[in-house]
Structure 1
C-alpha cells in the first residue's frame, strides 16, 4: 500500500452538524401505533373464511376471497387501556412481545435474537476471532472489493435458494467488525449480508417461503418461469454488487461520509485493540476450528434438516459454550467462568433494543386486529378494498398496482408465506379478470414482498441485523430509501415488461 493511500484513508471528515435529527426508532413506532389505533375509529374491521389447500404437497390455510364480511355496522373503535389480556393502545408493547410461538414473531424471534447475541458475546470474549480476522485483513486488504462482490452473490443465492432471513443475523455479527477493520463501515456489511439476502429472496425462482408458495396458491406450476427469474436475479445481484463496491470504496477513502461513522466507533476501537494483539496465541486454532464447525453445522441444518429459530438458536448457544470452555482452559484473554457469564449478558444486551423493536412492530399489527384472516381485522378490510380497487384497472397498470400494494402491505405482514396466503387468493383470480397472467401476479407479489424488507421496521431479521451493527433504524432508513427507490424502479420495469409480453 502506498504511503499517500494511507494518508487519504486516515483523513476523517466529520458529518456536518444538523439542526434536525432523525427521530429514534421507538418514537417512529409509537407514532405508527397511534395511527393504527386511530384507524380503528375510521375503518371497519372485516373477516374472511379460510380453506385448506394442498400447496406443493403441503396443506396450507388460505383465505376464500369471496367470503369477506364486515365485522359490524361501522368502525368498532378500540379501548385506550384494555383488561383481561385484550389489546388496547397502551397494551400494544406487552401484547406484541408475548404474541406468537417459538417458531415465529414475536416471542420466538425475541428469544432467538437475545440468545444468539449472548452466544456471540461468548465467541468474541476469547479474542481468537478478532486475532484471526486481523490475519485475514492483513493479507487481503487490497482484494477487499473483490470479496464484497463474492459475499453479495453468496448471500443473494442464500435468499434465493432457501429463503435466508433471520439466519443472516449471526453472519452480520461476524462481518461487521471484519469489514469495519478493513476500512469500510457497518452499512457495507448490511449490504453484503441482509440486503443481498432480500434481493435474492425477491427475485428467486425457487424460494420455498415466497415464490414457491405463491405459485402453488395461484395454481402456477412450481419452478415455472425460472429462466426470466434467474435473469432478473442475476441483474439485481450484479447491480447490488456494483453499488456496494462503489459505496464501500467511497467510505474507505472518506470515512466521514458514512452515516454510520459515529456508531461504528466501537468496532474501530475493537480493531485497534485486535491490531495490538495481531499474533495468534496457543488455543486460538481450536477456537477458530470450533467456530467454523459451528457455522458449518448451522448451514447443514438449514439446508438438509430445515432448521429454524429453535434449532439455530440452540446451535449457536452450544457453539458459544464450547468456545468459552476452550478459551477458559487455555486462558485466552484472561477469560474466567465469571467473565464468560458477563460476556454472555453483554452480548444479549447489545441486541436487546432490536428484540424490543420486533415486539413493538408486532404490537402495531395487533392494534390493527392481527393477521388472522378469520379474526376481525382492519387489514382484512384493506385487502378486500384493494382487490375491489384493482378490479377497476386493466392490463399493465393493474400489474404495477399489484406490485405497489404488495410493497405497502409488507409493512404489516413481513412473512413471505403469510403474505402469500393472504393476498394471492385475491390477486391471482383478479389477474384473470384484468388480463394479467397469474405468473405476473406472482412476480408482483414476490418483488413487492421481498424488496421492501430492506427498510420496513416490522421485519424481525432487519432489526436483528441492525442490532448486530449497532445502527439505529432511522439512520439506516436515510441510507436505504434511495436504494429501495432504485430497486423498486427495477421491479416496476420487470412487472410492466412481464405484463406486456404475457409472462
Structure 2
C-alpha cells in the first residue's frame, strides 16, 4: 500500500486532551475534604453463598474519622497496593496482546481483508467493522486501533468515501465490541471480579447486545459512506487529498505462521471459557493462561525468546496509563474507607433510589457511569472504583449485580467515543485529521441511538433478573 506518509503514531498519541490524572487527583482532594464534612457511617456485612452482602437495616452513624494532609498523598501508594492484583493482571494480559501484535498476525489479517474487499465497498465496511468489534469484545482493543486508523482513513478516501468513514470503521467497530464486552478481560473481567460474580457469566445477553450494537454501527457508517460517495461535497477529508489513490498488493497472502497464530489466539479463549466454567478461574489463572498462550503465539510467529520478552514489555507499556489510573482510582476508595464514608454514600444513595422502580435505578446507574468516564477514562480503573459501591448499592435497591456490571460496561464503552479525556480516542482523531467538534457533531446521533439500545437492554436485564445474582 502506498500513499503520502502517515502521521507518526507515537507523536499523535501525545495529543491526550484533558489530563485524566489531574482530574482524578482533584477528586482525591475533594474526597479528603468530604471526610471533614460528611458524617461517617457503617453497615453490617455477612457472607451469603460465598459473597459479601450488606444488611440493609443495619446502618448506623459513627464517629468521624477525617484524613490528614499527608494521608491524601499516602492514599495513592495505598491505592496502588489495594489495586495490585488488577494492575498486574492488566499488565500481563496487555503483554500477551503485545506478543500477538508483534507476530504481525493481526496486521496481516487486516491487510488481507483490505486487499480482498477494496473493490467491494459494500462488504468492506461490515467485514472490517466485524473484525474490530471482535477485537474490542475479546481483547479490549483501544490504543491498538491507532495503527489501523493510519491505514484505513486514506483507503476510505481512495474508495471515494471520506476520513470520517475510515475513522468510524475502526473506532465505532472497536467501540461497540468494547461496550458489549462479551469477554473483555479489562472491563467485564475486572468488574465481575469486584462484584464477586463468576467470571464472564451472563454471556448470552452480552452476545445479543453485541449483535444489536454492531448492526446499528454498520448501518450508521454505511449510510454516511453512501451519501459521501453519491455527493463528495458532503464528506470531510481533514488534511487528506480527496483525490488520494492507494495502491494495494493484489498478490498479498497471509503467511502460514500468521494463520496458526490466529488459530492459537482463538484456542486461548476456548480454553479460557472451559476453565472459567469448569474450574472457576479468576484473574490469576486468566493472567497465567494469557502469558502461556502469548509465549506460544510468539514461538509460532517465529519471534526469538528475546523478541517475545521485548514484545511483552511493549504490550504492557501501552497499558501503563490505564494501570496507573486503577491505582489513583483506588486512592479515592482508600480515603472513603479511612474516613468511613463508603457506607454513608451507600446509605444516602439507596435512600434516593429506593422509592424509584428498580428498573429506573438500573438506568440511573448507567447514566452515572456514562458521565463518570469523563473523570476516569479507563475501563478497568472505572470498574475498580465504582463497582465496590455499585454492587452493594444494587443489593440495597433491588438491582442484580450482573445488571450493575452491564450498566457500568455500557456507560464506559459508549462514552469512549465522546469525551476528550479519553487519550487514545483523541489521538485517533488527530491521526485522522478530524477536529473533535466535527466528530461530535457527526457521531452524536449514533451515541443517542446507543443510549437507547443500552436502556432497552438494561430494562430486559432487570425484568429477566439477569444473574446469577
For residues 348 and 315 of structure 2, the distance between their equivalents in structure 1, rounded to whole angstroms, comes to 42
Q: 1:193-212 to 2 correspondence within 5 Å? A: 193-199=174-180
Q: Who is 2:46 aligned against?
A: 51
Aligned partner of 2:52 among 58, 61, 78 = 61
Quote the RMSD (CA, aligned, Å). Answer: 5.6
Alignment of 1:73-472 (within 5 A): 73=64, 75-79=66-70, 82=73, 86-87=74-75, 92=76, 99-102=82-85, 104=86, 106-117=87-98, 119-120=99-100, 122-124=102-104, 133-146=110-123, 148-149=125-126, 164=137, 166=139, 168=141, 179=152, 182-183=155-156, 185=166, 187-199=168-180, 235-246=212-223, 257=236, 275=248, 279=251, 285-306=255-276, 308-325=286-303, 341=307, 345=310, 348-349=313-314, 352=317, 354-370=318-334, 376=339, 378-393=341-356, 400-405=363-368, 407=370, 422-431=389-398, 443=403, 445-454=404-413
In the alignment, is residue 40 of structure 1 matched against residue 32 of structure 2?
Answer: yes
- Displacement of 1:239 after TM fit? 1.8
* Cα distance between partner residues in 2 of 1:477 and 1:344: 37
The alpha-carbon distance between structure 1 residues 67 and 194, as it changes in their structure 2 partners (threshold 3 A), is farther
Structure 1: how far apart are the matches of 2:29 and 2:122?
47
Note the alpha carbon deviations across 1:94-123, whole angstroms, 9 max, x for none.
665555345x2x222134324532x14531
Indicate if the aligned counterparts of 2:51 and 2:196 stay in contact, CA closer than 8 A.
Answer: no
When structure 1 is superposed on structure 2, of 164-173 and 288-297 the one drifting more is 164-173
- Provide the secondary structure at the position in 2 that maps to 1:73: coil
Cα distance between partner residues in 1 of 2:463 and 2:262: 48
Change (3 A) 1:291 1:156: closer
Q: TM-score, normalised by structure 2?
A: 0.63
Alpha-carbon offset, residue 450 of structure 1: 2.0
Residue 119 of structure 2 aligns to a residue whose secondary structure is: helix
Distance (whole Å) between structure 2 residues aligned to residue 393 and residue 130 of structure 1: 49
- Correspondence for 2:21 among 5, 29, 51: 29
Distance (whole Å) between structure 2 residues aligned to residue 135 and residue 501 of structure 1: 42
Q: C-alpha distance in 1, partners of 2:16/2:190? A: 32
Aligned counterparts of 1:476 and 1:109: Cα–Cα separation in 2 = 31
Structure 2 gaps of 5+ residues are 8-13, 157-164, 277-284
* 1:333 alignment counterpart: none
**Structure 1 residue 387: Cα displacement:** 0.9
2: CA distance, partners of 1:47 / 1:72: 10
> Residue deviations 1:389-426, cap 9 Å, x none?
12355687656434434545677686769966643443
Aligned to 2:34, what secondary structure does the other structure show?
coil
- The number of residues matched between the two structures is 412
Distance 1:208 1:120, change over 3 A: closer
What do residues 46-85 of structure 1 show as CA deviations (whole Å, max 9, x unaligned)? 554433222xxxx333444444455642643542774xxx
TM-score (norm 1): 0.60
Are 2:42 and 2:59, in contact at CA under 8 Å, matched by a contact in 1? yes
